[in-house]
Structure 1
Amino acid sequence: MLTMASYGFENECKEIHDSWGRINQLIQSLASRTQLERQQIRETYKAIYGEDLVNRFQEAEMMSNNTNDTAAAGISPKLCAALSLFMLEPHERDAVVAREALEQSHHTNYCKALVEIFVGRKSSQIFLTKQAYHTRYRRQLDQDIANIEPPNSYQKILIALVTSHKAHHADVSQHIANCDAKRLFETGEGSPGAIEEAVVLEILSKRSIQQMKLTFSSYKHIYGHDYIKSLKREHSGEFENALKMVVKCIHNPPYYHAKQTLYESIKGRTEDKGGLARLLVSRAEVEMDEIRTIYKNKYGIELRDAICESIPSGDYRDFLVALATK
């Protein structure tokens, strides 16, 4: 039965259903749609055909992976995975990304994906993501992060970020920012030894992302350079490297996404193989214009052209380009 919210998308759903063997047409039908339109298409498709469109993409991905025959599934596994993520609501998508990230064997991989979530989402969104994670996997996201083995610095920082979404106040304070900036200096480059992890983790766990942004701005105003510079000393270790990733993402998310995720993925300089599709899917309707501009200014090439140069021609590349130019 069609709901009022989904009424009017019957023709689109029929087009999607009938064009399953014509993948490029399927891509064009979906890539240009907004989040709300995709949600309505998903509801309408299920009402008409009795099947969740997301599940169909996931089943096609499994079939293609198991048979190693894209013709059998009608669609490549990479494209299936990207389309299924694209059709999910944002909090559902983040839950899936978080689970896949935690199943990675290398901690820098899962840290990148989770940092994008915990730094780039509001606390209300994080709450919905945790609910979706529990509903889908019957597990607690916080607990899964805390149970990562072996324990490492990336895990410590993620736990602090998780805690910050529970404890912080919505309002930002210049006074708190100045005090935190001084504490970061005194326990970092202002001291002769290694950075005091406990102090940094305490600040991260008690402050909102907006408050941390103000702190880093205050740090530069007081000491004349970015906080990130203090983390590039010779004795920097795993904790400093993990912290650098988080600070860069907090300080300027579009620049971080353009450089640390897109450029590194396009150039094959990262083990985070899903980073390119993950970022394009999640930010296509959020800040892609700004990311594209930063990418062009920094690397002298349009993002779509960079994707075309690095990804073999085909439906998967077509979908990524559609998202990059959305």
Structure 2
Amino acid sequence: MLTVPSYGFEHQCKEIHDSWGQLNRLVLGLAMRTRLERQQIRETYKAIYGEDLVKRLQDVETSGISRNEAAGVSPKLCAALPLWMLDMHECDAVVAREALQQDNTNYKALVEIFVGRKSSHILLMKQEYQARFKRQLDQDIINIEPPNPYQKILVALVASHKAHHLDVSNHIAKCDAKRLYETGEGSPGAIERGVVLEILSKRSVPQLKLTFSSYKRIYGHDYTASLKRGDFREFENALGVVAKCIYKPPNYYAKTLYGSIKGITGDKAAIERVMVSRAEVDMDEIQRVYKKKYGIQLRDALSLCENIPSTDYRDFLVALATKMNELC
């Protein structure tokens, strides 16, 4: 069983400071720390050495792959550790920027942020995005080229964080469920995208979750099942992903991890992104779903994953999974 070291933050900061070029020595110690402890380590490091630990880790990452490899440190670990040490809103800002800069925009990474975080967090994240990258995240999403169904849905989700009420309403959920039915499987034509986008833009994520729950209770099946009828197009596919992420997050993330571990999807960063972003949110439930659906513990699946080289980076991911498994 992995245990958190008993010594204080000053000792660990000294160990970190003395380990540049050998970051693999830090993996287990940092992976087992809570988010609050990581913040305290970062603050302590700043107080002792006068520099931001995350910035120092990022400097190691950008100093040259050959240098890191020569020291026995995988480049992926050099990228993962700074992400792990960031505050959650800082991490999401970095993930959002990386998602937008890819040749093929990583829409799922963006959806996970806007669906999986509270509006207060989204505000902080957008402020961090602007401060760090000198850009407006909302505008970057609007300006994505070429236009994409995911983009339209993301624009609606961005609006929902600005306009929604905190309280949820069963009455509104039933009315919205009925509208979704009447403009979807209850209609002989194609799904009315305008109605769907309107609902997404005006309701909070908790309200949308209640709507999807009402839909299943009223019509006997998940809303996503209704999207697969007839001509299953790009918009319906994107909407289905978003609905799954809203309605059953642990199932969504378990499937995302499985696809990335097995190499089924092209989203190579999904393992690291999900493990870091959901570590202290719902990773315990994700692991239970993963074990139930795929018959293996997530940490064991990571240990056996052929798509992850047997390096310090794998040790880091397994340590994250082990940490949450022990807390279950």
TM class, shorter-chain normalised?
over 0.9
The answer to whether the 8 A contact 2:68-2:75 is kept is yes
- For the 8 Å contact 1:45–1:51, the answer to whether it is kept is yes
Could you tell me whether the CA contact under 8 Å between 2:22 and 2:71 is conserved in 1?
no
Q: Offset of 1:221 from its aligned partner?
A: 1.4
The equivalent position to 2:300 in structure 1, one of 301, 305, 322, is 305
Matches within 5 A, 1:89-238: 89-107=87-105, 110-238=106-234
Q: State the distance in 2 between where 1:44 and 1:69 align.
A: 27
The 5 Å alignment of 1:22-101 reads 22-65=22-65, 68-72=66-70, 75-101=73-99
Q: Give me the whole-angstrom Cα distance separating, in 1, the residues matched to 2:32 and 2:186.
A: 51
List aligned pairs for 1:237-276, cutoff 5 A. Answer: 237-259=233-255, 261-276=256-271
Tell me the equivalent position of 2:4. Answer: none
- Using the TM superposition, name which of 264-273 and 87-96 deviates more: 264-273
Greater displacement, 265-274 / 202-211: 265-274
Question: Alpha-carbon deviation of 1:270?
Answer: 1.4
Q: Give the superposition deviation at 1:72.
A: 4.8
Shift of 1:64: 3.2
- Deviation sequence 1:13-33 (CA, Å, 0-9, x none): 001112334444311221111
Cα drift, residue 185 of structure 1? 0.6
> What are the ranges of 5 or more consecutive residues in structure 1 without an aligned counterpart?
1-7
Sequence identity percentage: 72
Q: What is the CA distance between 1:244 and its match in structure 2?
A: 0.5
Supply the distance in 2 between the matched residues of 1:19 and 1:60 (Cα, whole angstroms): 11
Map Cα deviations across residues 262-306 of structure 1 (whole Å, 9 max, x no partner).
Answer: 001101111111110011011112211111111011000111111
Structure 1 runs of 4+ with >6 Å offset: none
Could you give the per-residue CA deviations for residues 146-178 of structure 1, whole angstroms, max 9, x where no partner exists? 000011101000000000000111111111111
Aligned residue type for 1:264: G
Q: TM-score, normalised by structure 1?
A: 0.93
Distance across 1 between alignment mates of 2:19 and 2:130: 34
Match of 1:312, SS state, is coil
Q: Give the AA of the match of 2:212.
A: F
| Separation of aligned partners in 2, 1:99 and 1:127 | 15
Q: Secondary structure at the match of 1:296?
A: helix
Q: Deviations over 1:186-239 (max 9, x none)?
A: 110111111110000000000011111111111111111111111011301110
Asked if residue 292 in structure 1 is aligned to residue 293 in structure 2, the reply is no
Worse overlay, 18-27 or 249-258: 18-27
RMSD over equivalenced CA pairs, Å: 1.4
Q: TM-score, normalised by structure 2?
A: 0.92
